[in-house]
Chains A and B, each alone.
Chain A
Amino acid sequence: MSAPLLEVRGLSKRFGGFTALRAVDMVVGPGERVGLIGPNGSGKTTLINCISGALRQDQGEIRLAGQDISRLPAHRRTRLGIARSFQIPRPFHSMTVLENLAIPLEYVAHRGSHRTSTEHEAREIRDEGMHILEQMNLQTKADAKSEELTQIELRKLELARALAARPQLLLADEAMAGLSGGEIDEVLEILLELNTRGIAVLMIEHIMRAVMGFSERVVCLDAGARIAEGTPELIVQDPVVERAYLGE
């Protein structure tokens, strides 16, 4: 296997007396599709938060393409290639859908050139934004405010925004929670399409058929520790995983 894109080593995080993550190790290869599963409270979102930089870990190391990013603020990590979507969509509510995309486009994708911002630059950003929206079938809502969007449209906006940051690694935190069968397939298709373009995806999901169908490799957490890892077929049969979800 080629050099890993993301390396997490010995990551620990405590909240007061509660240990959310215990010395977690994890690896994501370039362009890989990894699923992250585990019962509620096992530390999945905490892990994502530490990787993206929203939280600072207590111990451990995070490397992106070999570079140590453990102490970098979140916006720097985004610029280096990590993007995330939130479990509950968090759009910028005072802006239209297109303006929402303009933020990562301006601050990540087109960085450096906004100091000499011109009409040309603004048009480029607008075009790229529309292009992304078209891929998500969201272009008709380009000028809508977030409050006018449906649940699935909001989730697509989350992904579109993450995509606008031109990531190498996308952290998708329960992107399909609360969606119906057809909508789940729609989002899965988008994620697969992103992956074919070389973007690695680390997906947290509870919807088993989605995770197992999508992932090349699955990592299972329980009570802050990694308890199992392997292909979807193996994980599904693993008694350790079954115990974690169902109890003794």
Chain B
Amino acid sequence: MFWIGLLTALGLVFAAPHLVGNEFYLRTGYTVLQFVVLATAWNLLGGYAGYVNFGAAAFFAVGAYTTVFLYKLFPLFQVPVWMIFLMVPAAGLVAGLLGLITGLLTLRLRGVYFSIATLALAVVMHTVVTNWRFIGGATGVSILPPREVPLAFMFHSYVEFLFVMMGCITVAALLLARYVERSWIGRGLAAIRDDEDAAECMGVPTLRLKLFAATLSGCLFGVAGAPLPYQVGYIEPMSAFSLVYAVNALAMPMIGGTATWLGPLLGALLLGSAQEAARVTISSELNLLITGALLIVFVVVAPQGLIGLLRRLRGTP
């Protein structure tokens, strides 16, 4: 059942550029898919293990800036097609490393200190990037797209290519989340979330599992950010480290439901689409305000998220 859905999704991703004529929708689709990855990444640590990351923007921006760094580092190769494929793993690596380091520093402590550290981390990374001239500093960097469209036999335009790439990343992220959730790792993380001390006494290597989740989560955040410079063409710290990413990364899974991989997907699809639709009709601030309000409402009233509500309606607890 699941595999049918997976293949269908993959098929849709590749077919979309041909079905959808307007490039605008492909750009919107990219943004929504990006949020699916962000939500899924957040949920690995937040939903599965119960450790809240408030600084998703830091890891996401690190991913984007890894791309920028490589772009600037190899001026001769600024435009080759395969560089784009290199950026994604590189970004994942760097962001994952950042997740590991943050985890090593703070995961031995109470969950609240990890959360505060992620907030502080976002501020510090913002400062680092703003002061680093090589990758653009406060003024930012513009990224030129390659002259030829990568894999030109499949794609007519650059936007199409990026959309499909994000689509594949999304499917991979969901697969990863589903695998972790159903594996022994996922069960261990659930035990940690329910009662960390009891889990440790029951033989669960809590620190190691938490570090794993933090690293994987950071890695996925970075991967989501890697294509961003090419998508928007211009990267600067204010927007890369925008609070929008931190809030959405948290709100989408919490509204969708944090217990399974479906929650972030649902939350991101619904909320992301609504945000994109609303962006053209109402101000972007009001958009965000509504997101924040929804977060609070759901956290107070429907803590199991939409998935939880659906389950209750169907009768399964």
Contacts and interface: CB of A to CB of B under 8 A. Distances in A.
Q: In the complex, are there CB atoms of A and B closer than 8 Å?
A: yes
Interface of A: 52-54, 73-76, 78-79, 83-84, 86, 90-95, 99, 102-104, 106-108, 111, 114, 117, 145, 161, 165
B202 A107 contact: yes
A237 to B, nearest CB: 36
Contacts of B200: 53-54, 73-75
B198 A74 contact: no
Given A92-B199, A93-B194, A103-B199, A75 B187 contact: no
B194 A54 contact: no
A90 B203 contact: no
Interface string B163-195: 000000000000000000001100110110111
Nearest to A117: B184
Given A86-B198, A106-B184, A114-B184, A92 B203 contact: no
B300 interface: no
A90 B201 CA distance: 11
Given A90-B195, A94-B194, A107-B205, 9 more contacts: A54-B201, A75-B204, A86-B198, A91-B194, A103-B204, A104-B203, A107-B184, A111-B203, A161-B202
Interface centre among A79, A106, A107, A111 (most CB of B within 10 A): A107
The size class of the interface chain B forms with chain A is 20 to 34
A95 B183 CA distance: 15
Interface of B: 183-184, 187-188, 190-191, 193-195, 197-207, 259, 317
B254 to A, nearest CB: 16
5 contacts: A54-B197, A75-B200, A75-B201, A90-B197, A161-B202
Q: Which 5 A-B pairs have the closest CB atoms?
A: A108-B203, A107-B203, A92-B194, A78-B203, A90-B198
Nearest to B202: A104
Contacts of B190: 92, 94-95
B188 A103 contact: yes
B201 A103 contact: no
A95 B202 contact: no
A229 to B, nearest CB: 26
Contact of B187 (A76, A78, A102): A102
Nearest to A102: B187
A94 B203 contact: no
A73 B206 CA distance: 10
A74 B195 CA distance: 14
